[in-house]
Every structure is written in structure tokens, then in C-alpha cells.
Structure 1
Amino acid sequence: MRMMSLIFMLATPAVAEICPAAPDHAAAQGRIIADLGTARTATEAAILTQGLWRLWTDAPDATAKAMLDAGMALLQGGRPAIAVARFDALVAYCPDYAEGYNQRAFAFYLQRDFAAALVDLDAALAINPRHVAALSGKALTLMGLGRDAEAQTVLRAALALNPWLEERALLVTPPGVEL
């Protein structure tokens, strides 16, 4: 019995730990989003967007960062189904960390499980309503679900924060309206 308890404790270190609050990057995120609105080139916007990603992936602690990095590596390696398990652990450990939900949503999206992706994107946006990537991901997910009118509304919200998003090419404008 003692051996089983020891094995359980070693196998699940996050269960015994408590996730600290996620870093508050609202002010920095706001500055970057403001700068995106005045960016003059795609290169300038790309550099600013990298800054947003640094903020979003700034995990609450080393345990959360390891889970996030492992899941993202699996996504980059083309293994989204396995990545979901890493993000499940991250979300269970840090339920107030938006990026855990956003990355799990991306893993679901890659598997074409749009309904599950939408749930996680809504969770990420409840935590960080100005998470541009989650907004654009939600627009794409809604398109995947055939909910194009809603997708356009969400896409416009994402573009209001970052007019340089590649997804702007998916924006449908009514006839006679120029953007």
C-alpha cells in the first residue's frame, strides 16, 4: 500500500501542488493591442504579435509551463490527440489560465472536433476577453460548425484588436461596403 501511494505521488506531481494565479499581463497586452492598431507594416505587426504570444504563454509556474510546452511540442509534432491529455492536465491544474484552454481548443480544432474546441475557446475568452488568438480561433471554429454569421461577428471583434490577422482574408463584406 505504501508503495502504491509513493508511485501515485511520483506519477502525479501536479495533484499535490496548487497552481498560483496566472501573471497579470492585462496592461502589457493592452499596450501591444493598441500598437497593433497603429502598426504600419505586416513585419511590425508580426513582432507585436510575438509579444502577445510571450504574454499568453507565460505560465503561472514551472509545472504549468512544462505541461504547456509538452502539449505545444506535441501539436507541432502533429500529435493533437496526445496533446489533449497534456492540456487536460494543465487545465485541471490551472483552471484560471487561459492559454491551457486555448491550446486544448487548437488541439481539438486540428482533430475537427469543433464543438469541443468552441467550449474551450469560450473558457479562454471568459478568462481573457482580449485574447486575439482565441477570438480568431473561435471564428474559425464557428466556420467549421457552419455558423458563418456568428463567425463573422467574432472575426470582426478579433480584427478590431489586431487588424493584421491573416484571417482577415475570411471576412465577408456585404456588397457595396468597403473596409
Structure 2
Amino acid sequence: MVSKWLIAALALGVAPVAAAAEGCDTAVLVEPEKRAEVLRSIREAETEMEARGHANAMWDIWATAPDARAQELLDEGMDRREAHDFEGAIKAFDALVDYCPGYAEGYNQRAFIRFMQRDYAPALTDLEAAITRAPDHFAAIAGKALTLMGLGRNGEAKTALEEALGLNPWLPERGLMGMLENQDI
């Protein structure tokens, strides 16, 4: 028997959480071999410009959502961020994370907004969630390093930055390594 709550939710156009989770299949995301190939290309690049082209290919992978609804929410959040509508961006990324909890980029993008707002603790939580779902997400790992710096946790920031640079030695944040190495941490 269908519950009254389910009927009311469907009548209002609100998908129940269980149905939403079934609607987003992260198994359709790019296979690990392709990701590993792009990461290898970044590490083997001979110039920063060449590495940037490969890094852009990785961003294309990360920013390709598992289905049309997830892509719509990701694009909406990013558009709102570009328009400096941070509240609207957070709402879109909240909806994306609720709809597609296995998709790393929803967490990463929400963390970026929170970082920009200097809301470091929730940003760190989102970055950890993104990295758990996409351990090769060097941008999220670099974001984690910056967030840890914002929290004054420079020893942990150095470790995170080393990890990110192990994946992409051409990251712009590489210039921070000298500063972190020279601090009393």
C-alpha cells in the first residue's frame, strides 16, 4: 500500500529520498582507467601549459554528472556561483548532494562556496566527502590544504598539499609548499 506521505510528495513534485538515490547511478561515471590515463598525462607533462590542458580534461570528467538531473543541479550551482549568488549556489549543491550522494563534485563545489565564505569547518567536511568518493580529485585535495591553512592547521595542510602535488605536480598551489615547509608546524 502506498503511504499518504508518498502520494503527497509525488503530487507536489517532490521525489522521496529513496527514489532520488535510485535515480542517480554513479556507476556510469568515467571508468578508473580513463582517469588514471589523464592523471599520468598530467604528471608526465613537460610544461605547465601542457599539464593545464590535461588538467582541463580531468575537470571535464569531474564535471560530467551521472545523469541529466544531477548535471542540471551542478550547472545551476556553478552558474549561481559565477553570479555571486552564493546562497542559491549552496541550495543547488545541497539538492545535488541529496539527489546524488555518491557524486564527488557536488561536495567539492559546495566546499568551494563555503571556503570563499570562510566557513572552513563545513568546507572541510565537504572536501573529505568529495575525496572519499574521488580519491584522485587533486583539486579537492588542494582545496583541503587551503581550508586546513584557513583553520591554522598547517601541518595537515602540508600533508594534503603533498598528496595533491603527487597527483598533479603543476598545481598553482605548489607555490605554497615553501611557505608551509618554512613554518613552525
CA contact (8 A) 2:111 2:126 kept: yes
Percent same amino acid among aligned pairs? 46
Q: TM-score, normalised by structure 2?
A: 0.86
Alpha-carbon displacement from aligned partner over 1:82-127 (angstroms, at most 9, x marks no partner): 2111000000000000001111111111111000000000001111
SS at match of 2:145: helix
Shift of 1:70: 0.2
Structure 1 gap segments, 5+ residues each = none
CA contact (8 A) 2:112 2:123 kept: yes
Q: What is the match of residue 38 of structure 2?
A: 32
Is 1:170 the counterpart of 2:167 in the alignment? no
Which whole-Å CA distance do the structure 2 matches of 1:126 and 1:31 have between them? Answer: 20
SS at match of 1:163: coil
Which whole-Å CA distance do the structure 2 matches of 1:78 and 1:25 have between them? Answer: 33
Q: What is the match of residue 84 of structure 2?
A: 78
The 5 A counterparts of 1:62-141 are 62-141=68-147
Shift of 1:21: 2.2
Q: 1:174 to 1:100 in 2, by over 3 A?
A: closer
Correspondence for 1:41 among 43, 47, 53: 47
Structure 2 gap segments, 5+ residues each = none
The 5 A counterparts of 1:5-20 are 8-9=12-13, 12=14, 16-17=19-20, 18-20=23-25
The runs of at least 4 aligned residues of structure 1 exceeding 6 Å deviation read none
RMSD across aligned positions (CA): 2.0
Q: TM-score, normalised by structure 1?
A: 0.88
